[in-house]
Structure formats: C-alpha cells, structure tokens
Chains A and B, each alone.
Chain A
C-alpha cells in the first residue's frame, strides 16, 4: 500500500470499528428511541446508546491514542524500545492507591477508585519528577521507575494478603481494565485531554527527532533539554494517570502501539510517528474491545487486559522477528 494511503485506511478502520461498536451490543437497540434521550424522558434505546455505547467507544479511542502517545514519548525519551507509560511507576502508583482504598475497605465504588487512581499516579509522578532533577542519566531514572514498580507491587501484595475476600475480588476486577465504566463526561474529558496532548507533542516533533541523535547533539541543536523532559514526564503522567483512573491499569497499548506503527510506515520522524501512533492506538483499543465484548461468540467476553496481552505480545514478537530478518 502507498505510504500516504495508510493513515486514511486506519482512519477508515477506526470509523468502521466505532460504528460496529455503536450498533451492536448485548442489547438490541430500537433506533427510533435514540432521540428520546434528549427529551428528558429517555427510553432504553437512547440510554444504552448515549450512556453505555458512545462513552465506551470514545473512551477506547482516547485510551488507545493516549497510551500509545505516552508509550512513544517514553520510548523516544529513554532511547529504549521497551519503555512504556507503566515503566515510570505511574500505573503502579495508581494501582497502589486503588488497592489502599478497596482492600482496606475504606471505600470502593467507581468514583473512589478513579479519584484514588488519579491521586496515586500523580504522587508517583511527583516522586519521579523530584528524582529526575537529581539524577543525571536517563538509565538511572528508568531503574528508579522499575524499583518504584517493585516496591508498590510488593505493598499491594501485602495489602492483598490482608484483605477480605469481597474486597480482593473487587480489586482483581479493577485490575482487569475496562473501557465500559466511562461516562459521557469522563470519556469526553479524556478524549479532549488526549487531543490536546497530541497537539502539544506534535508541536515538538523536531525536538523529539533531535533527541534521538543523542543528548549532547540535541542540546547543540538548540533543544531545551529540561523543558522537554518536564513536558515528556508531565504529559505521560497526565495521560497514563487519567486513563488509568477511568479504565484501570490498561496493559500493552503503550508498549505495543509504537512498534506496530513502525511496521506500517517507513518514516521515522515524529512528524509522522505521532499522528500515526494516535490513530493505530485507537484502532487497537477498538479491536481489543470486540474481544472484551466476546465476538458475539464467547459468553460475556474476556477481560480487557487479557485480550490486550494476547493481542499485543504476539504483535511485538512479530515486529521483532520481522525487524531482525530485515537486518540480516
């Protein structure tokens, strides 16, 4: 396929997938009832469409794009194809906070989870920001993020071992991830946030390209290293934190999306990588959500994170194999 046709093809795929999610689900919608939602006395069709399906589709698009962009930023920033938004401990921070709320029996309920996930990811992010001002090398920051993950993970395990069965079950469900808990407002806010983030990152595409040439060279080409670092870390935390708050810890999208993009197009400048990552991430999330819905075959479908891992891991391995074959 010609290079310039690929974004259009993916955009078309997103539209088709989104339409399919809107049209089919566990309930048959009486389309004549759609308008009733605006009338104040909504009927079932209107409610299902506007309060269940539309928010879920918008959230899947926002989460796929947002986590993909966060993954791309981390991979570029750390010069490391294995980096992703969960690497800095942001997702674990959210997980830890939610574990505290659910497992100690202090709260529960979706709002409490979302709020504590936000607070947790921001606290982890704050810690990373403080540390990133002290550490000189990027490898140190990456290792700090990994260690933070271990510590938070261990604390969650301790909480789990002490928790009651009921709370434990609730926490496990949160950990599976879902786009289905979004409301029209949260999904719209998330989508707006992602669009703004994409726009901001796109404006810095040259700086990101320069950054790939090495820290010193980038500086000699006029890149404001400190500003760029704050932007990268801040946006990643904001994207990963807010998406985790609504969807739970979503696996693989951040890591896998940039790899798939690099398989689809031969451009490596961020001018092309950024919009493509946003598009492909949204497409992957919508595809995965069909797995969650159960293809109409599996009763009840599978948890989002299971689908994403089953989809994502072979994808990344395939990319690696293909890349190695190209080199030899």
Chain B
C-alpha cells in the first residue's frame, strides 16, 4: 500500500504514574502505569462513567493529565508540537458532528491528501455518491463513516476512537468493525473504547484488552471470551 510509507512513526503509548480527570474534581483514575504497543486493536472496556473517554482523550494528548505523564515512544507528549502530533495520532469522537455544513469532500480535503487518495478511501467506504452532500444532512452512521475516513486520511500510525459505534445501528456497527480490522491488516494501531465488545470476540487482530473497574485498570486476555470479559467489569 503506497500510503503506508508516509505514516509517521509511533510504536507505543506509555502512561506513567498517570492520574486523570478534571481539575477541581476528584480524579477518575489514578496510578495508571501501562504500555500499549504494536499494531492491532487495543480495546478499552468499562461501564458508563468509568472514565473510558477521559483515559482515551488523555492518552491522545487532548486533555491534560492531573498527574503523571503520557509518553509517545520515549517522548513526553507535552514536548511534541501540534504539527508533529497530528502525524502520529488521529481521533474519532463518539458523536459525529451533526452541525457541520461542510461537504464530505470539503471535510476530507482538510487532511491535505491528494484527490486520488481521497477518492480511493471514499470508494472503499462506499461514500463516493455522497461526496458533495453536507455532513449535517447525513445519517449518524454515514457521518461517522466519514469521520473514520477523515481519521484514516490523516495517515497516522495510531487511530484512537472513543465509542465510535455508540450512535450507530447494528449494520453500521458491523461495517465499522470490519473496516477497523482491515486497517490493522495495513499495519495501523487502533485504540478503541466500546460497549460493543461482543463483536470483537475471537477477533484475531485484537492485541490487548484493558478493563476499567473500581477506578483501576485490569488486563484481560485478548483471546478470552465475551463472557469472561463481561464478568470482569
């Protein structure tokens, strides 16, 4: 794949003595020491309000930690300037933008990739016919698919997604996860928080499973079963 050689490098995300949450409130999670590395899907599990979003945003450098540091490879993310940051990590929110009037083409063009590359991904995600539609006119599922393509076109080694399927119907969820698997086959790292983990059971691309319970992180067996994972929440 020609696009691969342009990917920035980032092998591992390392949280050291990390406390996360919002300033002025008690921390959501404390004393996080963990490494996520290697291509594949890194799954974060947890009940609503357990701190999944806060964790994933902090690891992505989009939210300040209360204490401790996040290192991307050996670098503290605080010392990485924005233009380099965006070559390493792309982010997908759980709610696709409902108010953006940008057309699909205009939104994707913000990554500054070639038209041919953009077309290729629009084709792969079955979005070609919608290219001149405004995002605000698309269904949640289609809009989220556009946001995933946008993240892919950022051409980063890592894509972090915060419950990307939360607002999608069953079919769109399946489509989303199969796309994630094909991204992994191209050497990408995906970290995702989701309640949809039954859809990832026995997925050969699953690299790690981390559960949040009682304000702590727990490692689960990526080869484990849905029942085992559920029991540990």
Contact = CB atoms under 8 A, between A and B. Distances in A.
Query: Do A and B truly interact?
Result: yes
Interface string A194-223: 000000000000100110111011011110
Interface string A165-176: 000000000000
Contacts of A268: 101-103, 106, 134
B87 to A, nearest CB: 10
Contacts, number: 63
A269 interface: yes
Nearest to A213: B97
A224 interface: yes
B62 interface: yes
A79 interface: yes
B153 to A, nearest CB: 11
Interface in B99-138: 99-103, 106-107, 109-110, 132, 134-135, 137
Contacts of A213: 97, 100, 102, 107, 110, 135, 147, 150
A209 B112 CA distance: 13
State which size class the interface on B falls in.
20 to 34
Contacts of A221: 86, 110, 154
Interface residues of A, number: 21
B89 interface: yes
Contact of A219 (B62, B100, B102, B109): B62
A224 B83 CA distance: 11
Nearest to A269: B106
A21 interface: no
A118 B100 CA distance: 34
A206 B112 CA distance: 10
Contact of B102 (A80, A220, A269): A269
B147 A224 contact: no
A220 B91 contact: yes
A327 interface: yes
B97 A217 contact: yes
A233 B219 CA distance: 46
A221 B89 CA distance: 9
A118 to B, nearest CB: 33
A217 B110 contact: no
A216 B57 contact: yes
B93 interface: yes
B82 A222 contact: yes
Contacts of B152: none
A79 B93 CA distance: 17
A268 B89 CA distance: 26
A269 B106 CA distance: 6
Given A267-B106, A268-B103, A216 B86 contact: no
Contacts of B99: 79-80, 212
Nearest to B105: A269
Nearest to A273: B101
A212 B154 CA distance: 17
B90 interface: yes
A262 interface: yes
A220 B147 contact: no
A213 B134 CA distance: 12
Contacts of B95: 214
Contacts of B60: 220
B12 interface: no
Nearest to B102: A268
B233 to A, nearest CB: 25
A269 B57 CA distance: 27
Contact of A224 (B62, B82, B154): B82
B179 interface: no
B62 A212 contact: no
Interface in A75-103: 79-80
Given A213-B107, A216-B62, A269-B109, 4 more contacts: A213-B110, A213-B135, A267-B106, A268-B106
19 contacts: A80-B99, A206-B110, A209-B102, A209-B107, A212-B99, A213-B100, A213-B107, A214-B100, A216-B57, A216-B91, A216-B93, A219-B62, A221-B110, A221-B154, A224-B82, A266-B103, A268-B106, A269-B106, A269-B109
Interface of A: 79-80, 206, 209-210, 212-214, 216-217, 219-222, 224, 262, 266-269, 327
